[in-house]
Amino acid sequence: MSPRKHTVDAAKGVLEIEWPFFGELSRGLALKVARAYDPEIVVGIATAGVIPGAVIAAILGREFHSLVVSRKYRSTRAREAPEVFGSAPKEVRGKRVLIVDETCDSGDTLRLAVSAPDFHAIATESTIILPWDREILVDGELKPNPIYADALGTRNS
């Protein structure tokens, strides 16, 4: 499960991101980053930021690493603020680094690494349902994620 908030505010709507749209957002963001910053290395914030981070690193032809920043990692309860687990990969020292996370709700996770996000693919107050969150494995079968069932108009069977 993703570390993001899992509540849907019906007043703000839902933005469902399918895989083709995710690909287009990733390509657009990679172009924007390449033109304005041209990082030497890309770091994805685990767990869900690893997916767009790896895609953007591949598009840019850059080395990719990950770093765990989480409210829930190694805990049964969510912490009030996210924590960094481990340290930045040694390969980032002295390099221009792009840090990638999948969403930025409160900004707490990214603030642990930078003062504020410089690039984003899309800005919305809507609940974002990413393609890897839409369905989850239940008893060996992919089922609609119950967190988003009402927003997607589906029910688990």
CATH assignment of the domain containing 105: 3.40.50.2020
Whether the Cβ atoms of residue 60 and residue 84 lie closer than 8 Å to each other: no
Structure confidence at residue 24 (pLDDT): 96
- First-to-last alpha carbon distance for the chain, in angstroms, is 20
Total domains in the chain come to 1
Residue 145 lies in a domain: no
Dihedrals phi, psi of 83, to nearest 5 degrees: -125, 155
Structure confidence at residue 105 (pLDDT): 67
What letter does residue 18 receive in the DSSP assignment?
A: P
Residue 32 lies in a domain: yes
Structure confidence at residue 3 (pLDDT): 40
Domain that holds residue 61: 14-131
Report pTM: 0.79
Structure confidence at residue 2 (pLDDT): 40
User: Which residues of the chain, if any, have pLDDT below 50?
Assistant: 1-4, 156-157
Q: What is the DSSP string of 53-93?
A: HHHHHHHHT-EEEEEEEESSTT-SS--SS-EEES---GGGT
Residue 39 lies in a domain: yes
Residue 2 lies in a domain: no
